[in-house]
Structure 1
């Protein structure tokens, strides 16, 4: 008799992810057949149902594929007794025979609001642990429900196709750490939260429900407990699945448009030799006529790419900034230079658009 269907589902999802990790490691000559130790895969575990289910599946599947498995929990220090909770999670990871298993304490700042600040601190800690242990990957327990919530949040921001594409199954570090291009893996993006909780229950795994997940002061909590149930009540069941499917379709579209924009950027670069002050610092000159001929979705991606390359922080560059630059191309009537985050300016000189730090 096989495992419970919920346990089988989480193990299959993790097995597929680990097979991808293994292929990547083999391509780099670091697989189990190489001279190095077997690759290490870490699970980021909060002690909640999603990450505990993930930890149990990793502990089961990794040895069968010749991989080492470890775990890490991050203590944000935002609740009384959080250090005790972190030690308890480490004990649970050790009970699953995960090694190394450790807790990392972080200091959460204020930049971007409490949710963004906690996320920044958490990923910085996970990056540090992964690099210290030479981990091939870090598994994250985001589920299909989390993906649906992310799509709704992106829709509320109104930032375009990329914001609707949700979380990627494979991603680099959001902190921009070098060498972390494929570090983070999300095996459960096609698994719902009910399945992970059921898998914990049938395996008698203790779980901890973070009170922040039910705190209405957090935007994601309101989406989870108010917005999504209201949508399902109004539209019927299947909203979560539809939003998750939208994320994948949007990601495919955004990836294609981004690839088009990379090629287009090379084609629209102007000859800067006759444009004053362009080559001073980090600047670029773009041919306005060629930009104008591009579809707007591609043109705006080109503008964002070159503006970030000129020194404007990606996290501070919003859709309204790109729209203002775009008007220098599509609605030109002698506007002054546009000041952008990171002391970057965009201005039009005749038939050339110049974007550079000032």
Structure 2
């Protein structure tokens, strides 16, 4: 047997590691847009799923945001069938921006329908094609938002039924894998549209960093995300326990909150605000600092307005969140 091309081997290794805990006969759903990343992912999943070991369902989602998107979706379905998946499925979603922007709205719609597909096929895992380069871009975008360790931790390797096997694989490797395997990936025009911040990070910012700081910047950013994600996971556990201890039937105990370490207290306040209905995309550090002053530097101030028509106030030793408007 001829040796595998290194790029093909790298993609297959990522998939193999992501599938090791699945039971024989389990169903795996592979999300595929037809781009190099997800097409290489689909090919590797079929190759790693030995006959009878796993059932592979290839899935594509048409967001309807571009002319000819239905034809592209049909092309992807055919490509998946040609790769040898056991079954294919496609869905068209309606993307309605709710103030979070078209990218976020499309992502939310895509995950929702992929979740529905996973339930329909009783899939043990849904594989996503995000790469090391995507992770580096996510870290840089998080840095610009100033959203703390949670944003710098980047994308999770797995959550709920979703898994990202290619976070250690570069975009160059997936493109090379497609070339070696004779696959023809689709080039999404949105990936070259510099109206999108992520595209500017990809085409302008990262290349400058690589030129000025030396090669390997993307890998370093992705590695940093891994390190921060472990710390964040632990802090999330501590935060959940602290929030439970502070929460009463009528609000959060100011005494309990004030006794927490500042790092944990701010996380608790963020979790409480989100649970009460604050908008995650708009809840910023300035809001959390104002909430913290209600706990640690209260001088009779009335309330703090939060994004999402929410108001927090201190009364009778409790921090209370109420909907307004």
What is the TM-score of this pair, normalised by structure 2? 0.93
Structure 1 unaligned regions, length at least 5: 23-30, 33-37, 172-180, 273-278
Which whole-Å CA distance do the structure 1 matches of 2:206 and 2:269 have between them?
34
- 2:121 aligns with one of 133, 156, 161: 133
CA–CA distance in 1 between the matches of 2:198 and 2:52? 36
Of 29, 32, 37, the residue aligned with 1:50 is 37
Structure 2: unaligned runs, 5 residues or longer: none
- Count residues with an aligned counterpart: 322
Do the aligned residues in 1 keep the contact of 2:95 with 2:106 (CA within 8 Å)?
yes
Q: Residue 228 and residue 332 in structure 1: after superposition, are their counterparts in 2 closer, same or farther (change >3 A)? A: same
Check whether the contact 2:254–2:295 (CA below 8 A) recurs between aligned residues. Answer: no
- What is the deviation of 1:322? 1.6
Give the TM-score of the pair, scaled to structure 1: 0.85
Task: Find the aligned partners of 1:343 and 1:74 in 2 and give their Cα distance.
Answer: 33
Please, what is the CA RMSD of the aligned residues? 1.8
- Inter-partner Cα distance in structure 2 for 1:285 and 1:74: 42
Equivalent residues in 2 for 1:142-157 (5 A)?
142-157=130-145
Alpha-carbon distance in 1 for matches of 2:120, 2:51: 25
Partner SS for 1:302: helix
The 5-angstrom pairing of residues 1-358 of structure 1 reads 1-20=2-21, 22=22, 31-32=23-24, 38-63=25-50, 66-111=53-98, 112-171=100-159, 181=160, 183-269=161-247, 279=249, 283-288=250-255, 290-349=256-315, 351-357=317-323
Match of 1:177 in 2: none
Q: Distance in 2 between matches of 1:312 and 1:344?
A: 6
More relative contact order in 1 or in 2 (CA 8 Å, sep 6+)? 2
Separation in 1, partners of 2:29, 2:246: 43
Residues 70-99 of structure 1 show CA distances to partners (whole Å, capped at 9, x for unaligned) of 111111112221111111111110001113
CA contact (8 A) 1:286 1:354 kept: no
Q: CA deviation at 1:292?
A: 2.4
CA offset at residue 293 of structure 1?
3.0
Shift of 1:357: 4.6
Q: By how many angstroms is 1:64 displaced?
A: 5.4
Q: Is the 8 A contact 2:257 2:295 kept in 1?
A: yes
